[in-house]
Structure 1
Amino acid sequence: MLSLLAIVVLIATLMTLFYQQVSRGIGSIVFVIVWLLSGFLAPWLVGLFPLVLLAAGVTLLNHVDLRQKFITRPVYQALGKVMPAIGDTEREAIEAGTTWFEADLFSGRPDWENFSHIHFSTLTNEEQSFIDNEVQQLCDMLDEWKIFHDLKDLPPEVWDFLKHKGFFSLIIPKEYGGKAFSPYAQSRIMSKIATRSLTAAVTAMVPNSLGPGELLAEYGTDEQKDRWLPGLAKGDEIPCFGLTGPEAGSDAGAIPDTGVICKGKIDGKEVLGMRLNFAKRWITLAPVATVVGLAFKLYDPDHLLGEKEELGITCALIPADTKGVEIGRRHYPGSPFMNGPINGKDVFVSLDAIIGGPDMAGKGWRMLIECLGAGRGVSLPALATASGEMGYRMTGAFGRIRRQFNTSVGDFEGVQEASAEVAAIAYTLEAYRHLVTRSLEDGAPSVVTAMAKYHSTEMMRELINHGMDIAGGRGIQLGPRNFLALPYQSTPIAITVEGANILTRSLMIFGQGAMRCHPYLYDELQAIQAEDKDKGLQDFDALFFTHAGHTLGNVSSAIFQALTGPYLSDAPANADAFSAPWYRLVNRYSAVLASTADMALALLGGDLKRRELLSARLGDVHSQLLIACAILKYHATLPRDEANDAHASYALRRAFSRAHDALEAFYRNFGFYGIGHLLKGLFFPFGRPCKAQAPSDDQIRKLGEMIMEPSSVRDALAEPAYISQDPEDAIGRVEATYNKLLEVEPAWLAFLKADGKGQLEGTSVLDKLKDAATKGIISESQVNAVNEYDAMRYDCLLTDAFDKNLKKVKVHAERPVM
């Protein structure tokens, strides 16, 4: 028994040393002392053979030459044989951009002091004015039904307004006539437009995301900036960017389009240039573009620039009317924004067309990776956030207005299961938008923006599907009254563009995240593949043992927190009673993620890249932890009331439940002789933590009721949106009816109750209302208001009907006689 106690003491000592990240030398001294003291409990520990083993182990770890000979070199050589080589394109993708707080979460030890200094961005006076005036005016001009089904394009006056009011110049520096708005302001602008018209939002967002404007501002020569940016800022030039093609969609690095350096004539003069051949598709704004950005592989077979023959992916900018360019046809992606193919055959341009000039030849992949952040982190999440804002408002209002079985449909628990999800997702999307756009102000975090693109658009899909379930036939039938069908129809666009979601999740989030966010992994791979093997071994020795201590420290942390609960864990100093336990849970899952990822990398090595189901689940955990942090940060910015707490609590449970589900699926499918089950037992010996349980029925009912009620959260989600007050508008009709219901609801419910009991006489609603007033059920002053509401309610529930040719709307809004 005492021997067992001694072993427990030694294991606990090791775990504590690793948990505290004690240096190798001091740790060795402490462990030797504890070993010797444990000899009082178990005398065999101080026998000759155990002491020799102890001395050998300590010497081996601390003597550089011995350690490298017997440990480091064999590991170094073994890994060199099994780890896949990192190609130039992959290296550029890994090294492109920056890391942010997501790296802390992947490390297993979030720095909450650093996180507490991250403050959400706010709008400047200029940005707020633009939203209140130009954006508001634009939204007033838009009729999405007319755009979608009649014009198949934006009206000419809307195009003119977008061009000349600066909507295409949000990212262009002020010295070139642009607005240079922050990522948060861009997101707010795009989401407000999207609450009114997806077509207009996509049209406005493309010049401000991946496109010539951003590439020129970041990498262009002074001559290129002077030539193009003023025209782009004024709207005189319309840009598009050709990246994807028939055989290169999400795998943009495999583009077959080529440029060959050669000599040719421009304006009668022989110049050194490129002959381009390309076939691009799905290019937004291509049919109306005046200037085309292109990505292609550049070759120099005659060595006119240097020794290298294959230079790599390059980005160039050419006028759309350049000889050999075929442009103007349209695709129809389910929404009538301008989108089409671009083809080029033997298009000759000078080397000055390369963005950044000839010195940037072959550096296009890194440029593209770093500039994808605007599309992934701003534009597409803005669309998703807009869906959340409108989905929350319309689903809640419609659930209260629509009645079945003499009950508001929003009061049925089955409906609340969907509407509570709508509420939580909308809250999460707004929180996530704030955190992601804030990250973009600090750099170009490629992992954060990949997470944002995937999870925001997937949450949008889920939210809109729930909304359609609740609206039922009212949401299915197309027409100018329908507030949900067009967003539903357009959802696949956001899912597909800027990298298909399936590949973003299964290849990018963890694949890039592990390399970018792990404190040692990428440097270790660089050391393994170093040409100077002696230097590589020296670097690997330091990295490997530091990495091992880091991993064992995270394992110890995860086990300690599993056994003791959150009490040994830190939270931000400014965390309140609501948020502190959640922050501590982030600590626990962060340590589990880091430990599990290291175990997977150690056992699977390069095969983990091919085990996409496993790596995607680790990416899901990483993403949900960042989402949880966004929710906690957003919760702190809103008034601390019941609605805020209820939404945040549900959203946090949703995030942690999904993170835990992903871990369980990982452990269940990991293999390796039960190691997955062992990890699960170590990290979750008492099962799933309470706060990582899916939301309870009580929470579902509570949020299902709240989404139908006025609240601080309802107001916060409406503030960035365009909410029409026009009772003839699809949104305005529901909004006006809901507001009228809030005004008359007590009298309306009293009337319904009496009518349901057969207490009222009359052949119309108005007759029965007058009878109810006569009998004292409602007051005389309420008769007309309730009657007006009933007419609005009936009109709100009607769906559009057309003539037989589906041309002219024929809606009969008159209430039937009772």
Structure 2
Amino acid sequence: MTLTIVLIALVAAWLFAFMAAPLWLWTLGAAALIAAFGAVGALGATALIVVGVIFVVVAALLNIVPLRRAVLTKPAFAIFKKVLPEMSSTEREVLESGDVWWEAEMFRGRPDWEKLLSFKYTKLSKEEQSFLDNECDELCKLCDDWKIEFEDKDLPQAAWNYIREKKFFSMLIKKEYGGLGFSANAQSAVVTKLATKSITLAVTVMVPNSLGPGELLMHYGTDEQKKHWLPGLVDGSEIPCFGLTGPEVGSDATAMPDLGDVCEGEIDGKKTVGIRLTFSKRYITLAPVATVIGLAFKLRDPDGFLGDKNKVDYGITCVLLPASTPGVHIGRRHYPGAAFMNGTIHGRDVFVPLDAIIGGPQMAGKGWRMLSECLSAGRGISLPALSVAAGQLGYRMTGVYARFRRQFKVSVGKFEGVQEATGRIAGHAYTLEAMRVLTASAVDHCAPSVTTAIAKYHMTELMRKIIMDGMDVLGGKGIQQGPRNFMATGYKATPVAITVEGANILTRNLMIYGQGAIRCHQYVFPEMEAARENDLIKFDKLVFGHIGFAVNRAVRAFTLALTGSKLARAPVDGEFADYFRKLERMSSALAFTSDLTMGTVGGKLKFMERMSARLGDVLSQLYIASAVLKFYLEGSKSDAERAHARWALDTCLYEIGHAFDGYIRNFPVAWARVLLRIVVLPFGNSFKPVSDRRNARVADLILEQSDVRERLSWLIFKNGGEHDPIGRMEHAWTISLKCEAAYVKYFKLANHGQLAGDTVAERLADAVQRNLMTRDEAEQAKAYDDARYDVILTDDFSKEYLAGHFAAEKLSEIEEAGQLARVA
């Protein structure tokens, strides 16, 4: 009987922990256990009294809240406040900026899947769709990427004029101020489409619609500032830039040496209180053509003009000033991986009025919070859009090339080695579009800071992988630059996206988990706030809730691991239900691991960057997998879609398992390392990379017409005509769908030695004469072969042209040269 009671008690305790039973239920359970032991004689009278007294004391301490606070919580609170790591005002502003969203559900161990499934993607309005189909297409037609990048190092004047005329610079400015007032999803789609034509074009448009004067004015500007600046930003008569980074400061913006002192000076001959600025900024996009400059600097008020005689250092502040302000010098251009305008700004003894502070003098010292909040949204739109453009181009164009290009008489896309790369391109492209539409839609609902950091880092890294794989597949087609090359500019410009708006190394190692662990955790940040506010009542409630949370997530993680996630919840039936269950298991594991980590290494974790990065990888892949599941369920659910989604989800789970395995192996506390292994990966890492079979399936699909191909390339600018690098590939694809069967027939005859002649034309003529092919089939085969040759052809140039004498050769002559050299 005693053994039976013990077993029942263990099962009950396990269920209580797994179901997150409240404290009162645990108390009743403990009382019932003691009574049961007494009833069967397992405890004698004396023992029963002793155990009963201990139980009553402990139960009273835990359940009588005022007593618990006085005896247990108050000493713990004092210790907690002593060991709580120092948090600078800058760190606090970063933590408090933006909102938490779906990533918090994945962090807390029991995601509410209904919240994800019921979330509505932002649909493009008729106006937005029309702009995407018409104005964007017209702007793309005005641009020749080769001339922009190699010859002019700038957009054509017609493109600049059209950008201004059609308000491309004011997509985020509300309609009430004359702007387009587009949704984040629409802005993302526009930038993606433009980037498929020209990265320089896309960057030029996206920067004023991301971190910059327009966004800062919309969020924080005074009515007078909006009235003064927004009309010019809307009609394009004002071109903005924002000076944040400089020679001494990159990702650590708080280290900027740029200073501004509040003092008296003269403006237009009148004595006034203002700010005297000295600054040096570089890497500033649009600086060479800017007419209005947003500027971040450290503000000081030594004479108390701002009203507080005891405060000198105000911290980072943002002002808006005309580029023509005396003392401001627009410096020379940088030349990053693409030809977009980027350069330097300098200023010495530049005097501006106090009302130049964005938001007015009351916003003095609040610049870092302003920038953090705007960055959190911008990260979810602009750079992810560039990444999706690379993914969509990589998917569609590499598929065309791999289908047409033959080596050893076989399409290269059918070689298993090549399929390793094309399979990754397909899977990553699917992942990118899934992340784009979910993240941009989230930005339309809130300002999700951790989500957008995840999007910026992982989407730009996927862009890098896709372009590298694409270059491997294209070979000489990719490395020979010229009017035909659709990937070289992206290859050169990839480091730009990796570097800006928070370098990827910093974002992965410090930001994603460092911010996520505090903001997304149900208890950590509120506990820190309770300590800062010295609120014992609030802390008591939080800390005991946290204990119950930690026990629940530990038991859930271990139970789900033991049962292969079978006890986890899934909101759908069928083969994708298992993915939901596995993600819930790993979500519980992340919650448990986070609590154990914070309980053992505490604040030291922020200096253990590789460890923090691995937990950030887990959180990120949970979000990415959620985006893929949502995207699949919103799609056609066709066989092709299923194959892509499963590739992406298998990759996410593998990356989660890999990150957890590395984290546990390197955890610095031995006993905790053992516990982590038992709870999180009791049978080892069972998540494997995508199988060869599944990879080959999506690699085959990239060569075929399918609903997924269209869904993953819908934003590509395809209307450039047969002389456009993408247009010529589109033309070839259209021909292949109509004519490939005839060409394959010819190809087999030719390779079996059944046709006479040295050229395709001679062999086709022989096939028709001998009735091996009809004349219509021969014409189709020739059309296919012409398209095939055009697809694989690369450009060559005269030495005069390459030396910079661009009048020496017309682009039409460059294009014709390869065709004239054909001998086959």
**Shorter-chain TM band:** over 0.9
Q: Which amino acid aligns with 1:203?
A: T
Q: Equivalent residues in 2 for 1:241-320 (5 A)?
A: 241-307=242-308, 308-320=311-323
Q: Which amino acid aligns with 1:10?
A: A
Percent identical among aligned pairs is 49
1:792 counterpart residue number: 787
Contact 1:6–1:42 (CA under 8 A) maintained in structure 2: no
Q: Equivalent residues in 2 for 1:417-816 (5 A)?
A: 417-530=420-533, 532=534, 536-572=535-571, 575-689=572-686, 692-724=687-719, 726-805=721-800, 806=802, 808=809, 809=814, 811-814=817-820, 816=822
1:333 counterpart residue number: 336
What's the secondary structure of 1:748's corresponding residue? Answer: helix
Tell me the alpha carbon deviations over residues 54-97 of structure 1, each in whole angstroms, 9 at most, x when there is no partner: 44433332244554455434433333333211121111111111
- Tell me the TM-score normalized by structure 1: 0.96
Q: Which amino acid aligns with 2:708?
A: V
After TM superposition, give the deviation of residue 148 of structure 1 in Å: 0.2
Q: Distance in 2 between matches of 1:524 and 1:772?
A: 82
Could you tell me which runs of 5 or more consecutive residues in structure 1 were left unpaired when the two chains were aligned.
none
Q: Distance in 2 between matches of 1:166 and 1:816?
A: 46
Contact 1:96–1:366 (CA under 8 A) maintained in structure 2: yes
After TM superposition, give the deviation of residue 11 of structure 1 in Å: 3.8
- When residues 60 and 342 of structure 1 are mapped into structure 2, their CA distance, relative to the original with a 3 A threshold, is same
What's the secondary structure of 1:195's corresponding residue? Answer: helix
After TM superposition, give the deviation of residue 163 of structure 1 in Å: 1.1
Q: Give the superposed CA RMSD.
A: 2.0
After TM superposition, give the deviation of residue 6 of structure 1 in Å: 5.0
- When residues 244 and 12 of structure 1 are mapped into structure 2, their CA distance, relative to the original with a 3 A threshold, is farther
Q: Distance in 2 between matches of 1:102 and 1:212?
A: 29
After TM superposition, give the deviation of residue 206 of structure 1 in Å: 0.6
1:177 counterpart residue number: 178
Q: Which amino acid aligns with 1:235?
A: G
Tell me the alpha carbon deviations over residues 425-474 of structure 1, each in whole angstroms, 9 at most, x when there is no partner: 11111110011011111211111111111011001001100001111111
What's the secondary structure of 1:168's corresponding residue? Answer: helix
- Tell me the TM-score normalized by structure 2: 0.95
- When residues 672 and 41 of structure 1 are mapped into structure 2, their CA distance, relative to the original with a 3 A threshold, is farther
Q: Equivalent residues in 2 for 1:359-378 (5 A)?
A: 359-378=362-381
After TM superposition, give the deviation of residue 671 of structure 1 in Å: 2.5
What's the secondary structure of 2:317's corresponding residue? Answer: strand
Contact 2:259–2:277 (CA under 8 A) maintained in structure 1: yes
Tell me the alpha carbon deviations over residues 582-624 of structure 1, each in whole angstroms, 9 at most, x when there is no partner: 2222211111111111111111110011111111111111111
Contact 1:85–1:529 (CA under 8 A) maintained in structure 2: no
Q: Distance in 2 between matches of 1:35 and 1:493?
A: 66
Q: Which amino acid aligns with 2:94?
A: A
After TM superposition, give the deviation of residue 337 of structure 1 in Å: 0.6
After TM superposition, give the deviation of residue 44 of structure 1 in Å: 5.2
- When residues 775 and 324 of structure 1 are mapped into structure 2, their CA distance, relative to the original with a 3 A threshold, is same
Q: Distance in 1 between matches of 2:41 and 2:368?
A: 62
What's the secondary structure of 1:57's corresponding residue? Answer: helix
The correspondence for 1:394, drawn from 384, 397, 416, is 397
Contact 2:558–2:678 (CA under 8 A) maintained in structure 1: no
What's the secondary structure of 2:73's corresponding residue? Answer: helix
Q: Which amino acid aligns with 2:122?
A: S
Q: Distance in 1 between matches of 2:8 and 2:94?
A: 46
After TM superposition, give the deviation of residue 21 of structure 1 in Å: 2.3
> 1:16 and 2:31 equivalent?
no
What's the secondary structure of 1:567's corresponding residue? Answer: coil
After TM superposition, give the deviation of residue 777 of structure 1 in Å: 4.1
Tell me the alpha carbon deviations over residues 130-185 of structure 1, each in whole angstroms, 9 at most, x when there is no partner: 11111110011110100000001111111111111110010111121101100000
Q: Distance in 1 between matches of 2:346 and 2:37?
A: 77
What's the secondary structure of 2:293's corresponding residue? Answer: strand
Q: Equivalent residues in 2 for 1:45-60 (5 A)?
A: 47-48=47-48, 50-60=51-61
Deviates more, 1:43-52 or 1:211-220: 43-52
Q: Which amino acid aligns with 1:770?
A: A
- When residues 92 and 781 of structure 1 are mapped into structure 2, their CA distance, relative to the original with a 3 A threshold, is same
Contact 1:170–1:178 (CA under 8 A) maintained in structure 2: yes
Contact 2:222–2:358 (CA under 8 A) maintained in structure 1: yes
- When residues 35 and 136 of structure 1 are mapped into structure 2, their CA distance, relative to the original with a 3 A threshold, is farther
Q: Distance in 2 between matches of 1:435 and 1:401?
A: 34
Contact 2:384–2:456 (CA under 8 A) maintained in structure 1: yes
2:30 counterpart residue number: 31
Contact 1:35–1:45 (CA under 8 A) maintained in structure 2: no
After TM superposition, give the deviation of residue 728 of structure 1 in Å: 2.0
Deviates more, 1:793-802 or 1:504-513: 793-802
Could you tell me which runs of 5 or more consecutive residues in structure 2 were left unpaired when the two chains were aligned.
804-808
Contact 1:16–1:556 (CA under 8 A) maintained in structure 2: no
- When residues 455 and 3 of structure 1 are mapped into structure 2, their CA distance, relative to the original with a 3 A threshold, is farther
What's the secondary structure of 1:763's corresponding residue? Answer: coil
- When residues 73 and 396 of structure 1 are mapped into structure 2, their CA distance, relative to the original with a 3 A threshold, is same
Deviates more, 1:220-229 or 1:667-676: 667-676
Q: Which amino acid aligns with 2:564?
A: G
After TM superposition, give the deviation of residue 796 of structure 1 in Å: 1.9
After TM superposition, give the deviation of residue 255 of structure 1 in Å: 1.6
Q: Distance in 1 between matches of 2:40 and 2:709?
A: 64
- When residues 51 and 353 of structure 1 are mapped into structure 2, their CA distance, relative to the original with a 3 A threshold, is same
- When residues 330 and 40 of structure 1 are mapped into structure 2, their CA distance, relative to the original with a 3 A threshold, is farther
Tell me the alpha carbon deviations over residues 457-512 of structure 1, each in whole angstroms, 9 at most, x when there is no partner: 00100110000111111101111111211111110001101010000111111111
Q: Distance in 2 between matches of 1:673 and 1:625?
A: 27
Q: Equivalent residues in 2 for 1:205-220 (5 A)?
A: 205-220=206-221
Q: Which amino acid aligns with 2:765?
A: K
Q: Distance in 2 between matches of 1:812 and 1:106?
A: 56
Q: Distance in 1 between matches of 2:765 and 2:41?
A: 94
> 1:356 and 2:359 equivalent?
yes
Deviates more, 1:335-344 or 1:754-763: 754-763
Q: Distance in 1 between matches of 2:240 and 2:182?
A: 19
After TM superposition, give the deviation of residue 737 of structure 1 in Å: 1.8
What's the secondary structure of 2:712's corresponding residue? Answer: helix
Q: Distance in 1 between matches of 2:128 and 2:434?
A: 20
After TM superposition, give the deviation of residue 35 of structure 1 in Å: 4.8
After TM superposition, give the deviation of residue 27 of structure 1 in Å: 2.2
Contact 1:287–1:330 (CA under 8 A) maintained in structure 2: yes
2:159 counterpart residue number: 158
After TM superposition, give the deviation of residue 773 of structure 1 in Å: 3.6
What's the secondary structure of 2:120's corresponding residue? Answer: coil
Q: Which amino acid aligns with 1:518?
A: H
After TM superposition, give the deviation of residue 537 of structure 1 in Å: 3.2
Tell me the alpha carbon deviations over residues 572-591 of structure 1, each in whole angstroms, 9 at most, x when there is no partner: 3xx35243222222211111
Q: Distance in 1 between matches of 2:270 and 2:576?
A: 69
- When residues 697 and 529 of structure 1 are mapped into structure 2, their CA distance, relative to the original with a 3 A threshold, is same
Q: Distance in 2 between matches of 1:240 and 1:371?
A: 14
Q: Distance in 1 between matches of 2:658 and 2:322?
A: 51
- When residues 815 and 75 of structure 1 are mapped into structure 2, their CA distance, relative to the original with a 3 A threshold, is same
What's the secondary structure of 1:767's corresponding residue? Answer: helix
What's the secondary structure of 2:722's corresponding residue? Answer: coil
Q: Distance in 1 between matches of 2:338 and 2:42?
A: 79
- When residues 756 and 84 of structure 1 are mapped into structure 2, their CA distance, relative to the original with a 3 A threshold, is same
